[in-house]
Amino acid sequence: MWKFVGDEETSQQRVLGKLKGILLPEIGAERLYRRKDLTTFPALVEEIILRDVKDNIIGILTTIQDITIRKRVEESCGKAKKYMNHS
């Protein structure tokens, strides 16, 4: 999975911190991920810490949503807003 994250070392450290209970899960965080063809895309990340019956951390459930289209729309709206303010 590490080859799909933008900054492999930082990502590994974050995951280890969450598995140790040092860092909180990410909710609504924006990150850059890498496709198989090595192009990057913006993603919205949601995580849930998985625990056993004794409350020990046993894993992380991560949902990654590609938000490329949303970012393009936001950029287009920003450009239109600038244009309208300068007219």
What is the predicted pLDDT for the residue at 80? 63
Q: Report how far residue 67's alpha carbon sits from residue 75's, in angstroms, rounded to the nearest whole number.
A: 12
Mean pLDDT of the chain: 86
Q: What are phi and psi of 82, to 5 degrees?
A: -60, -45
- In this prediction, what percent of the chain has a pLDDT beyond 70? 85
Task: Summarize the confidence of residues 11-19 as an average pLDDT.
Answer: 90
Residue 10: φ, ψ to 5°? -65, -40
Amino acid letter for position 31: R
C-alpha triplet 4, 25, 28: angle, nearest 5°? 75
